[in-house]
Structure 1
Amino acid sequence: MDRSGTRALSFGEIAERYDRFRPGVPTAALDWLLPDGCRTVVDLAAGTGALTRSLVDRVPNVVAVEPDPRMREVLARGCPAALALPGTGEEMPLPDGRADAVLISMAWHWMDPDRAVPEIARVLRGGGRFGVLWNHRDVSVPWVAELDRFTRALRAREGGRGVVAPTGKAVDPPTGALFGPLEELRLTWTMTVTAEQLVGLLGTDATAALLPADARRAVDEQVAGYARDELGLSGDRTIELPVACRCLRTTRNPDTAA
């Protein structure tokens, strides 16, 4: 497994936390991403099932593909209606043309586009939908940007040189002859969070997952102090956390072989 894949598997260290605090997917995004009459959807790099749980309420057959066994165990326990399978974007244990849609939430940047795109095309039927989405704290809002800077600096200090964050900007999926043109949707929504939930959510970022356990605890304590002192959050008090969601979709060309 390459270095990027190894970093992606670091989320298994915090699988329970990831499952508890990671946000779901806004309904408007799913309305836009899922094709009409979808009967079988693959949630690729499903993690602990934040997207999977929304899909099982809308699609009869949901297959959750996740490489990390720790994440997959939590997913299977929390979302038994989905079929949870080991696999990656580059190699899925599914037959050709199985799916009406393949969706990826918050994980496309961990995949090798040159290998993943043909594999996704193989699994999709002709005319099937390939969609990716990202949910990020909306750093266009000043207080969110300041919180983001604070937490990144904390992790860098606590983790030292042993923590290597993902580098570069996520590249949009290349479509080529296998898929039609990409379409884009951007929307914003809010999460209502307590201090505990905000600290928990921030601790699911990639650079947090890569920290040793003692460093994660130290960061959590300092983020809780920041939430109390700078945001007025403690106990059951809540704040509306702005989230920016970016979605891309494309359609599998029926006349090209993967």
Structure 2
Amino acid sequence: MDWLVPDGCGTVVDLAAGTGALTRSLVDRVEHVVAVEPDPRMLETLGRNCPAARALSGTGEQIPLPDGQADAVLISMAWHWMDPQRAVPEIARVLRAGGTFGVAWNHRDVSVPWVAELDRFTRALRARALADGPAGTTAAPTREAVDPPTGSLFSALTEMRMTWSQPVTAEEIVGLLGTDASAIALPVDARSAVDEQVAAYVREELDLSGDRTIDLPIACRCLRATKNA
């Protein structure tokens, strides 16, 4: 947040805000926080979680704000769901000249061997569950996280990467893996079966049981650009 939020920022837009994970960090830093989210259930939860923010229904391609109102527009874990050719001009429209456009992704750090092996094991289980599932069961669509095309509207992108670790139990690892789109796409019974196999793998391969924890490496990649005058 120190790197993404510009000095003197008075109004920030959390675009595709979900249930407000990023929003809650922003309200402690910026006087006016606008959270924009298309899903009505998430928007309702966001309103309960973060009443200090102004919550609006909208998308990256259609932001419900006047021209030049924001000092910063930030997107966390959602840029890959937007149409770059439509979203970039729309973000530029709501930003003042010199405003900041920032994008961030958080992921399990698969450069760490045991994390990469856990991901491979889990993905293989899901692929098998889909293949063995009822006719008509399809995998979740995947989106490549392409960097925003800034063009003439923004300065060149600058990048910041950081890593840290989060202590997690076996149950928490299974829960985190269960938030992946490829897990959510599975039928309920298949998801439960995969979760049980992942839990067994974690207990045996990582020697986790009960409340024992392991430090799960997390990687964050942030991109930032400034709107041209």
* TM exceeding 0.5: yes
1:54 paired with 2:36, answer no
Question: What are the equivalent positions in structure 2 for 1:157-168 lying under 5 Å apart?
Answer: 157-160=128-131, 162-167=137-142
State the partner residue of 2:47. 76
3-state SS of paired residue (1:186) = strand
Relative to structure 1, is the Cα distance of residues 79 and 215 closer, same or farther in structure 2, using a 3 angstrom cutoff?
farther
- Checking the alignment, whether the CA contact within 8 Å between 2:80 and 2:143 is kept in structure 1 is no
Who is 1:36 aligned against?
Answer: 7
Higher helix proportion (structure 1 or 2) = 1
- The 10-residue stretch of structure 1 (190-199 or 137-146) with the greater mean CA deviation from structure 2: 190-199
1:154-212 C-alpha deviation (Å, 9 max, x unpaired): 11122337333444632100111110110001111111111121111111111112222
Paired residue for 1:232? 207
The equivalent of 1:247 in structure 2 is: 222
TM superposition shift of 1:84: 1.6
* Matched pairs, number: 225
Unaligned runs of 5+ in 1: 1-29
Aligned to 1:199: 174
- Pair 1:93-2:68 in alignment: no
Kindly provide the CA deviation profile for residues 100-158 of structure 1, in whole angstroms up to 9, marking residues without a partner as x: 11011111111100000000001111110000011111111000000000111111122
1:143 aligned residue: 114
Q: Provide the rounded CA distance (Å) in 2 between the counterparts of 1:199 and 1:115.
A: 36
In 1, Cα distance between equivalents of 2:186 and 2:45: 21
Match of 2:195 among 220, 223, 234: 220
Pairing 1:115–2:93 present: no
For the residues of structure 2 that align with 1:71 and 1:153, how far apart are their CA atoms?
A: 30
1:202-232 CA distance string (max 9 Å, x none): 1111111222222222222221111111111
In the alignment, the residues of structure 1 paired with residue 206 and residue 25 of structure 2 have an alpha-carbon distance, to the nearest angstrom, of 31
2:144 maps to amino acid: K
2:66 alignment partner AA: P
The 4+ residue runs of structure 1 with deviation greater than 6 A are none
| Contact 1:102 1:129 survives alignment (8 Å) | yes
Q: What is the distance in 2 between the residues matched to 1:192 and 1:147?
A: 16
Structure 1 position 177 matched with structure 2 position 148? no
Distance 1:52 1:163 in 2: 33
Distance 1:140 1:159, change over 3 A: same
1:152 maps onto 2:127 in alignment:
no
Q: Is the 8 A contact 1:163 1:207 kept in 2?
A: no
The CA deviation at 1:37 is 0.8
Q: What CA distance in whole angstroms lies between the structure 2 residues aligned with 1:154 and 1:247?
A: 31
* Corresponding residue SS for 1:187: strand
TM-score (norm 2): 0.93
Supply the distance in 2 between the matched residues of 1:231 and 1:196 (Cα, whole angstroms): 12
Task: For 1:223 and 1:73, locate their aligned partners in 2 and report how far apart those are by CA, in whole Å.
Answer: 32
